[in-house]
Amino acid sequence: MHQTSVGQMRGLESNGVAVFRGIPYAKAPLGDLRFAAPERRTPFTETFDATQWGATPQRHSPGFDIPEPVVPGEDILNLNVFAPSDALDGGASLPVLVWIHGGGYVAGCAVGAWYDGREFAADGVVVVSISYRLGFDGFGHLDGAPDNRGILDWICALGWVRDTISSFGGDPGNVTIAGQSAGGGAILSLLATEAARGLFKRAWVMSGVLESTTTAQAALATAEFAQTVGVTPDIDGFASIADTDLQKAVMGMPSMLAFPPITGGKLFPHGIAEGIAAVSHDIDVVIGATADETLWNPAETALAHDDALAMLQSQGVSAEAAALALQHISERYELLPGRILTEKLFRSVIPAVLELRSDATARTWTYDYRWSPVKSGMALHCNEIPAFFGLAEDPTVTPVLGSVPAEVSDMFHGSALRFAKGEALDWQPATGGVLEPATGTCTIDAEGSAPGDGFAAAAHLSALRREPASPSS
C-alpha cells in the first residue's frame, strides 16, 4: 500500500522499481463530459488498485508492430507511474519524465511495453505515461464544445503531475515532457501554448509533426465526417454514436492525420509554429527524427524527377524549394515516395523548430537516428522508441528490430536520462533553420556508419511550417 495526496493505492514492485498503473487523473468522459474539457478526479475514498492497466482510449488495434493493446473500460483518462521503490518513503525529489504516446492522434495507448519506464526509474527518474482522448472525441470540432480536448487532457495530466508527483518521490518543478510521432506533435503543441507554461522545464521531441488545421477547416471536416457516419454535425449527433464505432470510422479515413490540433482559438491564437517562437524561449529542447521514417513499403519504385517535383508542388511546396530538396535527396537516395514523405512530414520539422527558436534563450539540440535493423535495413518510424527507454533486449522488441546495438541504446537512453536530470549532453546545441542545414546534429548509429545530411534536404521544405491561423471564434 502507498499513501498519496490523491488517496491510498496498491501498486507493483520488482527489482527496486514501483509501478502504479491506470491511475485516473480526470473523470471518465461520459455523458455531458464526453466532449467537454477534462475535470480533475477527486481523491480516492477507498484503496485504488493500481496493479492493472487502465482502460485505453484506443478501442481498436491499428495493427502496428508496436505492442499497444486495447484495454476496455470507461476510465480512459488515466496515467501510469514508474518510480524507484525507495523514493516512496518520503523526502525524495527526483526528476520526472512525462511520456505522451503517438498514433496520429487517432490511435495508440500508454500501456505499450515499448513505453516501460523501469530503466529510467532504476536510474533515478520518475516516469509518467499518460492516456488522452483520441480521434474525433479528442480533436474534432463541435460548436458548443472546447476544441483540442485531447490537448486539454495533456494539460490536465500535467497539472496532476504538478500537484501529485511528490507523493511518488518526483520533483514537480523538474519535469521533462517527451513524445514520439503525434506524441512529438503533442510536445510541440505544449511548447506553443501559454496554458502549459510552468508545467514542465524541458522537452524531447521524437519524429514530431507540426500539422494542424484552422477552426474553419475543422468545421468543414466535422460536417463531412458527420455525413460519412450519418449524424447531424453537432454534439447531440456525435454523442449518439458510441466512441468505439466513431473511432472505427476515423481509423478508416484516408488521411494519416484526419483530426490534428486546431489553431485560432484560446490555446493557439496565432498558430502552433508562431506559438513555439513566442512561448518556448526558456525551455531546453531536444528534437530529431529517424532517417527513413515512412519507407515502410519495400516494393516502392522510384519516381522520375518531374513526378517527384509534381508530388511536392501538389502539397504546396514551391517549385524552387522542391527542386532544391530533390537535389539533396537524389545525391544520397532514389526518389522514392516514402523518402520524399519522410523529408516533408517529419524531418522538415527539425530545421523549422531551429528557425522558430533562433532567438530563444534556452538551447536546442538535434539528433538524426540512423541505426537500421537487419530485418528492414531502414531506420523506420518508431524504431528509436526502445532505445530511448533502454529496452533494447526486451522480448517485445527483438522480434521487430532484432538486437539493438548496446552503443546505440546506451547513447540514446543515456542522453535522455542525462537530459531529464538536467545534465550536459555529449554533443553541442545545434544551429540552423529554414533553408539552412543544421550544424551540431548528433548522429545516432553504430560505430563506423556514415553521418546524416544535417537535414539539408528537409531544410528546403520547412518554409511551409509557419501555418496561418483562423480568427478566434
Q: Which residues are catalytic?
A: 181, 293, 381
- The 3-state DSSP class for residue 143 equals coil
Give the residue from 220, 214, 233 showing the smallest Cα distance to 144: 233
C-alpha–C-alpha distance, residues 329 and 323, integer Å: 10
Nine cell digits for residue 266: 484560446
Helices (H), 17-81: none
Q: Which residue has the cell 517485445?
A: 396
Q: Which residues contact 59 (CB under 8 A, 6 or more apart)?
A: 70, 243, 244, 247, 248
Alpha helices in 203-271 (DSSP H): 215-229, 235-239, 243-251
124: left (phi over 0), alpha (psi -120 to 50) or beta: left
Nearest to 331 by CA among 452, 181, 220: 452
Residue the block writes with cell 527496486: 16
Cα separation, 257 vs 467, whole angstroms = 16
CA–CA gap between residue 27 and residue 74 (Å, rounded): 9
Taking the CA of residue 32 as centre, how many other CA atoms within 13 Å lie in the half-sphere pointing to its CB?
1
**Structure letter (DSSP) for residue 168:** G
3-class DSSP assignment, residue 364: strand
**Cβ neighbours for 426, distance < 8 A, ≥ 6 positions apart:** 411, 415, 442
Would you give the DSSP letter of residue 383? T
d(CA 233, CA 70): 28
Burial of 28 (0-12, 13-18, 19+ CB in 10 A): middle
How many H helices and E strands in the chain? 16, 17
Query: Shortest CA distance to 384 belongs to which of 370, 374, 395?
Result: 370
- H/E stretch holding 9 reads strand 7-10
2-4, strands of its sheet edge to edge: 2-4, 7-10, 48-49
Grid coordinates in use for 356?
522558430
CB contact at 8 A, 384 and 306: no
Determine the Cα–Cα distance for residues 33 and 150; give it in Å rounded to an integer: 13
